Amino acid sequence: MPILKIPTPLRPYAGGESSLSLPGEIVEDVLDAAVQAHPMLKKHLFNDSGQLRPYVNLFLDEDNLNQLEGLKTPLSASDTVLIIPSIAGG
């Protein structure tokens, strides 16, 4: 199964795990499975409209999914998806 890497700030909402093995053929499936397994993750990944929060970025290995097919990017069983926050302030 594909692996979803959880960044440190979100681990408290994912049972303390740094990575999760989750079923899915596309990235969206894996995120859905993560939220089903760990419902507290949802509000930190998605806004009230169900869109990914602006600071949530997804990478397939070292490739930003924005340069691939986004949430529809297909996955193989050996793929690793990383959740990487971007940081802004003033």
**Considering the rule CB under 8 A, would residue 9 count as an interface residue with another protein?**
yes
Ordered DSSP codes for 44-85 = HHB-TTSPBPTTEEEEETTEEGGGTTGGG-B--TT-EEEEEE
Note whether 46 binds another protein by CB under 8 A: no
Please tell me whether residue 48 binds another protein under the rule CB under 8 A.
no
* 57 scored as a contact of another protein (CB under 8 A): yes
81 contacts another protein (rule: CB under 8 A):
no
Burial (CB < 10 A; 0-12, 13-18, 19+), residue 19, is middle
Binding site for another protein (CB under 8 A): 7-9, 12, 44, 55, 57, 59, 62, 64, 82, 84-90
